[in-house]
Amino acid sequence: MRTIRLGKTGIEVPQNAFGALPIQRVTTDEAVSLLRNAYDGGMRFFDTARAYTDSEVKVGIAFEGMRDKVFISSKTQATTRDKFWEDLETSLANLRTDYIDIYQLHCVSRCYDESDDIYQCLVEAKTQGKIRHIGITAHKIGVAEDIVKSGLYETLQFPFSYLATDRDIELVRSCKENDMGFIAMKGLSGGLLTNSRACMAFMNEHDALPIWGIQRQSELDEWLSFFDSDITMTDEIREVIDRDRKELSGDFCRGCGYCMPCTVDITINQCARMSQMIRRAPSQNWLTDRWIDEMMKIEDCIECGICKTRCPYELDIPTLLRKNLADYKEILDGKPV
């Protein structure tokens, strides 16, 4: 297992980290067990956020009394000074700690600089010792490039998987050249990628720290197994990657959910990618009465466009929904998956 250094932060951890968004969907006992098992298995970096409901609380319970043994990153969506300090104090209380290793502005629409109150808050919090390093997350490549050029942030978190474009890969290189830590989110591209060995081999070729979203012990076991062997790129793995890149080229939903909630209650972050999911997981899981009902809600779409304004990938979501529904109806009528 490679060790990754997160740029000028000096943080060095195994290239295999825990994304704590999914643990908001399980009980506290289940989440704490997962987090502690992840630590016992070798993981040392754990990423959460104020926006992930009770995820911070669960991380805090899991690592109380062993704070110096793990690195914790969290995030705020605040854009005002008052909201920033409210979020930070809440996160510190939830995490049962007096400092956060990396505190990140969450899913920004632009690069905040020294003239912005929100950036000044980060500097003040670091001076006070409440955060140790200043980070930021983005979904749009242009915004991410501006962030790297600014030189103001110690880490950048950005979607990165083996579906990455040449521009995405250049972004990772640019981070390294600027001594900026790169944290890779959505390494499974929102669940569309199912070959963990291929995902790990791809990350092994780049200076990126992947945070795998983990919800079940079986998922954790899969990632922990890579501590016992070096996962390097092979011709066989390249074939898997090439095949997936061809199949998933173009516009597709990553399932991030920032488009939600929907005006007419469509589960957009699943329905807008149903054509991929139904072909990349056991099909029957997506052909239940529940999912048939969910997909048929697309017919109620009023094309208000609110989802389009929220999508960090600037997708034409109503069109994407209609395409997925048409394909889904054909599958229901007997078209082979």
Query: What's the first-to-final CA gap in the chain, in angstroms?
Result: 37
Answer with the one of 186, 208, 243 that is the final residue of a domain. 243
Q: What is the pLDDT of residues 11-56, one digit of tens each?
A: 999 999 999 999 999 999 999 999 999 999 999 999 999 999 999 9
The overall average pLDDT reported for the chain is 95
| Region of poorest pLDDT, from 151-160, 209-218, 276-285 | 276-285
- Domain limits for position 317: 268-332
Region label for 132, one of left (φ > 0), alpha (ψ between -120 and 50) or beta (otherwise):
alpha
Residue 299 CA to chain centroid, in angstroms? 30
Q: What is the pLDDT of residues 240-254, one digit of tens each?
A: 999 999 888 777 888
Q: What is the pLDDT of residues 163-200, one digit of tens each?
A: 999 999 999 999 999 999 999 999 998 888 989 999 99
pLDDT confidence of residue 247: 82
Q: Are 295 and 331 in contact (CB under 8 A)?
A: no
Burial class (CB in 10 A: 0-12, 13-18, 19+), 289: exposed
Q: What is the pLDDT of residues 270-326, one digit of tens each?
A: 999 999 889 877 788 899 999 999 999 999 999 999 999 999 888 999 999 999 999
Percent share of the chain, pLDDT over 90: 87
pLDDT at 134 over 80: yes
Distance of alpha carbon 91 from alpha carbon 74, whole angstroms? 8
pLDDT confidence of residue 249: 72
* Judgement on whether residues 201 and 311 belong to the same structural domain of the protein: no
Q: Answer yes or no: is 112 within a domain.
A: yes
The token duo for 124 is 């003040």
* Judgement on whether residues 212 and 295 belong to the same structural domain of the protein: no
Distance of alpha carbon 310 from alpha carbon 76, whole angstroms? 17
CATH number for the domain that contains residue 68:
3.20.20.100
Q: Answer yes or no: is 261 within a domain.
A: no
Q: What is the pLDDT of residues 92-103, one digit of tens each?
A: 999 999 999 999
pLDDT confidence of residue 283: 80
Q: How far is CA 300 from CA 11, 303, 325, in A?
A: 49, 9, 12
**Residue 202 pairs with which residues in a beta bridge?**
none
Q: Answer yes or no: is 128 within a domain.
A: yes
| pTM to 2 decimal places | 0.88
pLDDT confidence of residue 276: 86
* Judgement on whether residues 179 and 310 belong to the same structural domain of the protein: no
pLDDT confidence of residue 250: 72
Distance of alpha carbon 213 from alpha carbon 320, whole angstroms? 25
* Judgement on whether residues 315 and 215 belong to the same structural domain of the protein: no
Distance of alpha carbon 199 from alpha carbon 221, whole angstroms? 15
pLDDT at 219 over 80: yes
pLDDT at 105 over 80: yes
pLDDT confidence of residue 4: 97
pLDDT confidence of residue 156: 98
* Judgement on whether residues 151 and 288 belong to the same structural domain of the protein: no
Name the domain count of the chain: 2
Q: Answer yes or no: is 141 within a domain.
A: yes
* Judgement on whether residues 196 and 304 belong to the same structural domain of the protein: no
Distance of alpha carbon 262 from alpha carbon 259, whole angstroms? 7
* Judgement on whether residues 63 and 135 belong to the same structural domain of the protein: yes
Distance of alpha carbon 101 from alpha carbon 10, whole angstroms? 11
Q: Are 227 and 110 in contact (CB under 8 A)?
A: no
* Judgement on whether residues 319 and 178 belong to the same structural domain of the protein: no
Q: Are 110 and 83 in contact (CB under 8 A)?
A: no
* Judgement on whether residues 239 and 304 belong to the same structural domain of the protein: no
Q: Answer yes or no: is 75 within a domain.
A: yes
Q: Answer yes or no: is 254 within a domain.
A: no
Answer with the one of 199, 228, 243 that is the final residue of a domain. 243
Average pLDDT over every residue of 65-73: 97
Distance of alpha carbon 331 from alpha carbon 169, whole angstroms? 36
* Judgement on whether residues 237 and 283 belong to the same structural domain of the protein: no
Q: Answer yes or no: is 249 within a domain.
A: no
pLDDT confidence of residue 231: 86
* Judgement on whether residues 238 and 281 belong to the same structural domain of the protein: no
pLDDT at 111 over 90: yes
Q: Answer yes or no: is 175 within a domain.
A: yes
* Judgement on whether residues 239 and 278 belong to the same structural domain of the protein: no
